[in-house]
């Protein structure tokens, strides 16, 4: 895009992108060209193998997720519109995580330089930089409009608040790098997963984890909470936590009892992504085995499977819950067959707003 008469574009591959909840900005992933309107990029993009472990560019896989709602995207780390390009460039090294807060006025980033930064989304100015970790910061997640958690290869988890010069809370207990953290829908419980093969659940009122969930036999790469339970639109359905591991399985956990409810074990390679449908009844999983599986959360039964031609690194649902987007590693097109294949885009990153708009979407699967 043009800002002040200058064209501003990324030159290296962009490993992370998220929709803003409110601002009218647009994303184009990869080696990007900023776009006006909600059109697709026409630039061919393939995913370079840029991750070398969690601390080495996040286990050879760029992380992309949907944000709370809206129709704009921050892109590690540019915020784009048809007339404005705000460049955010204070990190000294690669950025591993990027999240908008629910209001859309702040962007939170974390990087290899061990810091996390809160940015003012409209101006690009730094609101505050946090330097509490002693090793690369791998993931961040907002708890509220101005507080968040961060995790690192230093095994620590810090809960921080804008305006505070020290962590509000520090959780310790993992024995290896912490790959991902997620607050539950109410911001009460924080889940974390690690290369130590454990999944832990934390509460701000306790210093030690309230659940230490074990069962995976290899590193746990990512976690997701279901959109269910008290305080949600589906209050009568139990809150559930899903974990995806390099042991090729996905586990569903009851966070009240700390028990594993289901083990989903049809994948044959590491599982990189899990996503609950908007009503929490279905779970999509994506693996390096080139498959996307759709599961019934209650029964654990496999509902449908889709075979691609490259490793699946991200999956997410549209707002109606009848389609799943899948991001593959090879960039090759797939035939539009809802029973045996993937629909044919060639992009390698995915992000979706809660109003059902995809950002530079990959393959789209009909769930029928």
Confidence of residue 354 (pLDDT cuts 50, 70, 90): very low
Residue with the bigger pLDDT between 342 and 281: it is 281
Q: Is the pTM of this model over 0.85?
A: no
pLDDT of residue 212: 98
pLDDT digits (tens, 9 = 90+) for 292-349: 999 999 999 999 999 988 999 889 898 889 999 888 877 543 322 333 344 444 333 3
Confidence of residue 3 (pLDDT cuts 50, 70, 90): very low
How much of the chain exceeds pLDDT 90, in percent?
Answer: 56
Q: For residue 64, what are the contacts with CB-CB under 8 A and spacing of at least 6?
A: 16, 17, 18, 29, 314, 327, 349, 350, 351
What's the mean pLDDT in 32-57?
34
Domain ranges of the chain: 49-146, 173-330+361-367
Burial 281-315 (b: 16+ CB within 10 A, else e): bbbbbbbbbbbbbbbebeeeeeebebebbbbbbbb
At the fourth CATH level, the homologous superfamily of domain 173-330+361-367 is YVTN repeat-like/Quinoprotein amine dehydrogenase (2.130.10.10)
Q: Identify which of 346, 357, 349 has the alpha carbon closest to the alpha carbon of residue 309.
A: 346
pLDDT of residue 60: 52
């Amino acid at each position: 895009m043009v800002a002040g008469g200058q064209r501003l574009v990324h030159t290296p591959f962009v490993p992370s992108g998220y929709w803003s909840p409110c601002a009218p900005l647009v994303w184009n992933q990869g080696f990007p060209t900023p776009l006006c309107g909600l059109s697709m990029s026409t630039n061919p993009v393939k995913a370079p193998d840029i991750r070398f472990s969690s601390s080495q560019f996040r286990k050879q896989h760029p992380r992309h997720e949907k944000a709370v709602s809206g129709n704009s995207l921050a892109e590690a780390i540019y915020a784009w519109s048809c007339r404005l390009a705000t460049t955010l460039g204070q990190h000294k090294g690669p950025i591993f995580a990027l999240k908008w807060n629910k209001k859309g006025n702040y962007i939170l980033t974390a990087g290899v330089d061990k810091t996390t930064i809160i940015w003012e989304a409209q101006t690009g100015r730094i609101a505050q930089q946090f330097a509490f970790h002693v090793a690369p910061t791998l993931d961040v997640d907002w708890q509220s409009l101005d507080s968040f958690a961060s995790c690192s290869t230093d095994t620590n988890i810090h809960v921080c608040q804008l305006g505070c010069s020290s962590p509000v809370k520090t959780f310790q207990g993992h024995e290896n790098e912490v790959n991902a953290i997620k607050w539950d829908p109410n911001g009460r419980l924080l889940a974390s997963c690690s290369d130590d093969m454990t999944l832990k659940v934390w509460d701000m009122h306790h210093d030690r984890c309230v659940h230490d969930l074990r069962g995976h036999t290899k590193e746990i790469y990512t976690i997701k909470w279901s959109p269910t339970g008290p305080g949600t639109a589906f209050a009568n359905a139990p809150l559930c936590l899903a974990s995806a591991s390099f042991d090729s399985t996905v586990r569903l956990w009851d966070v009240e009892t700390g028990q594993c409810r289901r083990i989903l074990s049809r994948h044959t390679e590491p599982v990189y992504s899990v996503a609950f449908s908007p009503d929490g009844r279905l779970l999509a999983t994506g693996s390096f085995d080139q498959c996307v599986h759709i599961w019934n959360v209650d029964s654990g039964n496999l509902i449908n499977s889709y075979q691609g031609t490259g490793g699946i690194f991200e999956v997410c649902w549209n707002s109606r819950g009848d389609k799943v987007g899948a991001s593959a590693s090879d960039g090759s097109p797939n035939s539009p067959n809802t029973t045996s294949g993937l629909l044919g885009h060639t992009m390698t990153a995915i992000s979706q707003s809660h109003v059902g708009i995809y950002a530079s979407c990959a393959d789209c699967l009909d769930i029928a």
